[in-house]
Structure 1
Amino acid sequence: MAYTFQVTIDSHSPHSLADWWADALGWEVEPSDEAFIRRMIEEGHAREDDTTLHNGTLVWKAGAGIRHPEGLERAPRVLFQFVPEAKAVKNRVHLDVRTGDDDPRTVVERLIAKGATRLHEGNQGPFAWTTLADPQGNELCVSH
């Protein structure tokens, strides 16, 4: 049997990082179901302190997800989950962002303008990439 998966990224500010990555990838942040959250609190399945406001919307404090605009059939969901500690060491897993027809240098400069940090340039044979860190320090590579 083949399994599906989602990619989960630890974050001290999951909703802000989900916004950044959705913009970086051209994906969508999953909408919050405020009515469902309020019902869970009213029924005693959740507490008010399990929630927070993000851009004026009631959301679960524990995390935020993003999806490819064509749905989960196109690409796995990415979940940004709250952890209290900051990132301390290099990621053992990272996302490789492939730019398709877009110029990767232009994409890199756009991401840097939005808070990414350039870490280094790499190449192997005909392949080249730029390694960046997102605003919370998680590594990613940008290439064709």
Structure 2
Amino acid sequence: MAFDVQITVDCSAPHDLADWWAQALGWQVEPQDEAFIRRMVDTGAATAEDTTTHRGALVWRVGAAITSPDPGRPRVLFQLVPEPKAVKNRLHLDVRVGPERVEAEVARLVGLGARELWRGRQGPFAWVTLADPEGNELCVT
């Protein structure tokens, strides 16, 4: 039996990080149903403290997700955690753009707020490791 997966990223500002990654990947931030959220608060199923406002809309405080315009790609959820990132990720995303586009993509992502950490090479394969605005590693290859 095959399973579907979702990638979840712990962070301190899920809505801001979802915005960053959506722009970085050319994906969309998944809309949240403001009417549903208000109904949950009004009926006592949630509290006002469970919500926040982001870009003028009422959203769930603890998370935001992005989705690809292409079907079959995993959803990426950014979830609020209380602790800051402390060590290197054991899992990271590789943004595969092809060798001819690596430098331009690295420059674009750095312009969006990423920072370059190091460059690697193994035989004919090369990559650039970056950190997103919260320090989560990603590779451009």
TM-score by shorter chain over 0.5: yes
Mind listing any 5+ residue stretches in structure 2 that lack a counterpart?
A: none
Mind listing any 5+ residue stretches in structure 1 that lack a counterpart?
A: none
- Encode CA deviations 1:10-45: one digit per residue, 9 max, x unaligned: 010000000000000010000121001001111111
Superposition pairs of residues 1-144 of structure 1, within 5 angstroms: 1-71=1-71, 73=72, 75-100=73-98, 103-143=101-141
Percent identity, aligned pairs only? 62
- Encode CA deviations 1:108-143: one digit per residue, 9 max, x unaligned: 001111111100011111111000000000000001
Distance 2:62 2:42 in 1: 19
Say if 1:132 and 1:69 are closer, same or farther in 2 by CA, change over 3 A: same
Distance 1:50 1:102 in 2: 45
CA RMSD of aligned residues (A): 1.2
Distance 1:89 1:141 in 2: 16
Distance 1:95 1:33 in 2: 28
3-state DSSP class of the match of 1:103? helix
Distance 2:120 2:38 in 1: 48
**Runs (4+) off by over 2 Å:** none
Say if 1:65 and 1:121 are closer, same or farther in 2 by CA, change over 3 A: same
Structure 1 residue 70, shift from structure 2 partner: 2.0
3-state DSSP class of the match of 2:52? strand
Structure 1 residue 64, shift from structure 2 partner: 0.2
